[in-house]
């Protein structure tokens, strides 16, 4: 079994779980290792990947570097022309490398379209330009009445204000050290000017992957970043995304063969990726064909979490939902979600024992459970007895954090859905987003689980260490109970027979799209988790219907 050779499976305390893993994973191994990433089109390449792709495009497909620069210039200038008028005061800052060459080529295109930019090329010392940057500089002299200055020694900062447009082509992805000296001062002056800033490929001073310890004042704060061919990982970091601003990709026709051959680690999930795997219902289906799930959730004072998870599951399309809660939740669930069945714990206000009276297709546990000692005991017993992947959220994660040995008993391919605080309680405090992603990849591989690290760009981290970054969602979803809805949606998809690798990725995307729809109805500030749950079904229908 090829897949089993690639993934080291932990044995745990129960060898039956390994047997289940093998029987479950064998028919799904192509889905887990190959199918989804092959079909996802928006790949997130590393610097090394891009170097190899460029080299393949140039050497094997006989595309010159100057042609690639011209393609960048056409794409970037087209976007600028569509957004700004030619009479906008424009300043172009070009560095000595190929990012600077791109900026100079963009400046030429803008001039051809009626702009009159001030162009500054930094060639400190007079001999530090890349070959392509030299070629384009030499061509600049052929353009009549051009406002061009090559900086060899001293530089006087031009007057830039809020009405200006700045094209940032100082440094691209090749930068390997923080900006210093004059370049750092220039970046700070640009940031303080209030001008609109367009960065080519990446804001100058920003690293593509790891920005731990960076001083953000020393990095360009872009309003628009036009990435070449693919976005960079830093675009999805909650701490560096604000430096990127709005971003779009410019397709310059790099080798498809080279791009498809890369063994990627990061992917961006878009609507078309969710659509490929959503099943259309048969006209003859019944609720028995659509699965049955249980949601173990709620405690006195936190029954809203159980209700929201239940509503999210019901809207996901699953056939039957049973909510297992303490007795105090009976009226709340039956009135708030009459479509669901209710199973009461023998305790009035907390969960003390998880008894599954049916052979459910999927089980989720955690929303609103609380962390009473008896509840922690119940969670521990449930996890130890579980034979199939489960969805673990909220207080179930906090229960595990109190007794980390539970991690060893999690069924393989289970799905954990922590936010940053819950993640750090489980796996130790992380000093940065990059460190948290790295730790999630390590833990997902170690325990053979999926970790959904929730945030603006939720990251789905898989047992093979691959990371799928979700593109849907809105700040309107920053509201209590939103994560409970997500738990219900993922459990509902699992119950309908979607494998964990699809249920996790699709569930997150559907949840984010439901939030976008809810925002249109209720506004950025007025959207609640209940609004998100109510729109889960509409989000699924939108994905299926919007087939183009």
315 and 334 both lie in a single domain: yes
Asked if the structure places residue 17 within a domain, the reply is: no
Q: Where are the beta strands (DSSP E) in 195-311?
A: 196-200, 224-228, 246-250, 266-269, 292-296
Examine the domain organization and report whether 306 and 379 are in the same domain: yes
One domain, residues 312 and 403: yes
Query: Rounded CA gap, 472 and 456, in Å?
Result: 9
Residue 18 within any structural domain of the chain: no
Domain boundary among 229, 263, 297: 263
- In this structure, the answer to whether residues 279 and 215 fall within a common structural domain is no
Task: Using the Cα atoms of residue 524, residue 526, residue 530 and residue 535 in order, give the sign of their dihedral.
Answer: negative
Per-residue pLDDT tens for 215-257? 999 999 999 999 999 999 999 999 999 999 999 999 999 999 9
One domain, residues 421 and 512: yes
pLDDT digits (tens, 9 = 90+) for 405-430: 999 999 999 999 999 999 999 999 99
- Number of structural domains found in the chain: 2
Residues 186, 308, single domain; the answer is no
| CATH assignment at residue 132 | 3.40.50.10260
Quick: pLDDT tens for 306-349. 999 999 999 999 999 999 999 999 999 999 999 999 999 999 99
**Inter-residue contact 261 to 237 (CB < 8 Å):** no
Buried (b) or exposed (e) across 439-461, using 16+ Cβ within 10 A?
Answer: bbbebbbebbbbbbbbbebbbbb
At 140 the pLDDT is 85
Those residues whose C-beta lies under 8 Å from the C-beta of residue 433, and which sit 6 or more positions away, are 237, 238, 239
| Residue 10: per-residue pLDDT | 45
Last residue of one domain, picked from the residues 263, 291, 310: 263
The predicted pLDDT at position 39 comes to 41
Question: Rounded CA gap, 142 and 272, in Å?
Answer: 46
Q: pTM score > 0.75 for this model?
A: yes
Phi, psi of 382 (to 5 degrees): -65, -45
Read off the DSSP letter of residue 33: I
End-to-end C-alpha distance for the chain, whole angstroms: 37
The CA distance from 228 to 226, in Å, is 7
Which range marks the domain in which residue 370 is found? 23-40+272-545
Distances from the Cα of 439 to the Cα of 9, 422, 453, angstroms: 18, 13, 11
- Last residue within a domain, chosen from 244, 263, 282: 263
Same domain, 34 and 67: no
DSSP output for 107-122? HHHHHHTT---EEEEE
Reported confidence tier of residue 9, pLDDT bands at 50, 70, 90: very low
**Stretch 102-107: mean pLDDT, rounded?**
97
Per-residue pLDDT band for 37 (boundaries 50, 70, 90) equals very low
């Amino acid at each position: 079994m090829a897949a089993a050779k690639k993934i080291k499976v932990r044995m745990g305390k129960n060898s039956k779980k390994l047997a289940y893993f093998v029987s479950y994973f064998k028919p799904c191994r192509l889905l887990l290792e190959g199918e989804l990433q092959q079909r996802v089109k928006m790949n997130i390449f590393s610097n090394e990947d891009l170097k190899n792709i460029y080299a393949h495009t140039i050497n094997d497909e006989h595309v010159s570097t100057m042609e690639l620069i011209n393609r960048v210039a056409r794409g970037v200038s087209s976007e600028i022309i569509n957004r700004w008028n030619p009479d906008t005061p424009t300043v172009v800052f070009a560095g000595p490398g190929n990012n600077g060459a791109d900026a100079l080529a963009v400046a030429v295109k803008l001039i051809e379209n009626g702009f009159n930019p001030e162009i500054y090329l930094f060639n400190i010392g007079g001999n530090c330009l890349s070959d392509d940057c030299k070629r384009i500089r030499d061509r600049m002299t052929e353009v009549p009445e051009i406002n061009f200055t090559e900086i060899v020694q001293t530089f006087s900062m031009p007057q830039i204000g809020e009405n200006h447009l700045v094209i940032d082509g100082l440094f691209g992805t090749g930068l390997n050290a923080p900006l210093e000296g004059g370049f750092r001062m220039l970046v700070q002056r640009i940031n303080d000017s209030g001008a609109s800033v367009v960065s080519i490929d990446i804001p100058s001073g920003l690293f593509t992957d790891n920005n731990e310890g960076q001083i953000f004042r020393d990095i360009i704060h872009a309003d628009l970043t036009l990435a070449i061919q693919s976005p960079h990982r830093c675009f999805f970091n909650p701490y560096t995304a604000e430096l990127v601003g709005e971003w779009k990709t410019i397709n310059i026709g790099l080798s498809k063969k080279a791009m498809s051959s890369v063994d990627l680690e990061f992917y961006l999930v878009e609507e078309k990726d969710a659509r490929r795997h959503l099943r259309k219902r048969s006209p003859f289906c019944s609720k028995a064909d659509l699965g049955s799930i249980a949601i173990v959730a709620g405690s006195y004072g936190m029954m809203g979490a159980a209700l929201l998870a239940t509503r999210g599951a019901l809207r996901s399309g699953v056939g039957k939902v049973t909510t297992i809660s303490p007795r105090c939740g009976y009226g709340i669930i039956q009135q708030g979600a009459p479509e669901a069945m209710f199973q009461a714990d023998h305790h009035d206000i907390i969960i003390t024992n998880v008894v599954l009276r049916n052979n459910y297709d999927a089980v989720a546990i955690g929303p609103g459970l609380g962390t009473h000692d008896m509840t922690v005991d119940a969670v521990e017993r449930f996890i130890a007895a579980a034979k199939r992947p489960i969805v673990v959220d909220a207080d179930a994660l906090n229960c595990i954090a109190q007794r980390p040995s539970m991690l060893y008993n999690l069924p393989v391919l289970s799905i954990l859905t922590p936010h940053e605080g819950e993640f750090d309680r489980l796996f130790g405090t992380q000093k940065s987003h990059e460190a948290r992603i790295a730790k999630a990849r390590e833990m997902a591989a170690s325990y053979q689980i999926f970790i959904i690290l929730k945030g603006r760009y939720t990251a789905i981290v898989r047992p093979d260490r691959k990371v799928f970054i979700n593109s849907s969602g809105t700040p309107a979803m920053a509201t209590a109970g939103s994560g409970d809805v997500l738990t219900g949606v993922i459990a509902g998809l699992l119950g309908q027979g979607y494998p964990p690798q699809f249920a996790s990725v699709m569930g997150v995307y559907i949840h984010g799209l439901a939030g976008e729809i809810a925002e249109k109805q209720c506004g950025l500030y007025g959207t609640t988790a209940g609004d998100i749950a109510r729109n889960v079904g509409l989000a699924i229908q939108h994905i299926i219907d919007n087939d183009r």
